[in-house]
Amino acid sequence: MSFIGTGKIKIATYTSGATFAARNFIDVGNASDFSYNFSETKKELLDYQDPAGGTAATVVKLDKVEGKMDLRVFSLANLALALWGTAAPTLGVTAITTEPHVITAGSFVPFDRIMNTTVAPVITKGTTTVGTADYVISPGGITIASTISTVGVTSGDAINVAYTPIASGSVQTLINSAPEVSVFFEGINGVDGKMTTVRMYKAKLGVAQNVSMISEDFNTLSLTFTINKDTTVTGAGISQFMKIEAQS
């Protein structure tokens, strides 16, 4: 049977207290690669009795099972997974009234949230409102003019910013250890249209190898993983690593 694979990857947080099917699997979206490979440790005893040489005995053991997935969807959930973080998918749009900053001539002031630029921000120093000629707004914050013209405001002064944020979410990166997950692959053979599924019971994810924020092509979250033995999977003749099922 020839095979050209396409399919969907579902990932769940590994929980030893729940069966594989009971874990909360989430579809990671479009992925351009899902593959795994096996490496082995080999010990060989040379034949020291025969002048022609050769091998008298060989022992081969599994070293490790590793894999790779290339995710093409930059969702908050995928970024949190790839960057060992935690996602806050919904941040409110309630107006922010007093966000403290410092005004410095010629500098950029990044706001804590992405600003809704259709609603004009208000910049104040105490009871003094900083004139709009002294800054240019952008979604990320304001750029201060090289010369501040508002009377009573000088470079280095403390200011407060009032603005309305856009609906957004965030990811706090690199605050967790490497996540342990379960992986379910639901695939189709492009040659004959038959189904294939793969269950990886327990895998540890590596951190994203590269996250490009400026590029000329569609980006990829490339993740490596190691499949570990899941001792909660039991039964005669049952693999504790992975199971492959293919439509006949």
pLDDT of residue 234: 93
pLDDT of residue 1: 76
Q: How far apart are CA 67 and CA 224, in angstroms?
A: 6
Q: Per-10-residue mean pLDDT for the chain, 248 residues long?
A: 92 94 96 96 95 94 95 96 94 96 98 97 97 97 97 97 97 96 96 96 95 93 96 95 95
Dihedrals phi, psi of 105, to nearest 5 degrees: -55, 130
pLDDT of residue 190: 92
Question: 216: Cβ–Cβ under 8 A, 6 or more apart, which residues?
Answer: none
pLDDT of residue 199: 97
| Predicted TM-score of the model (pTM) | 0.85
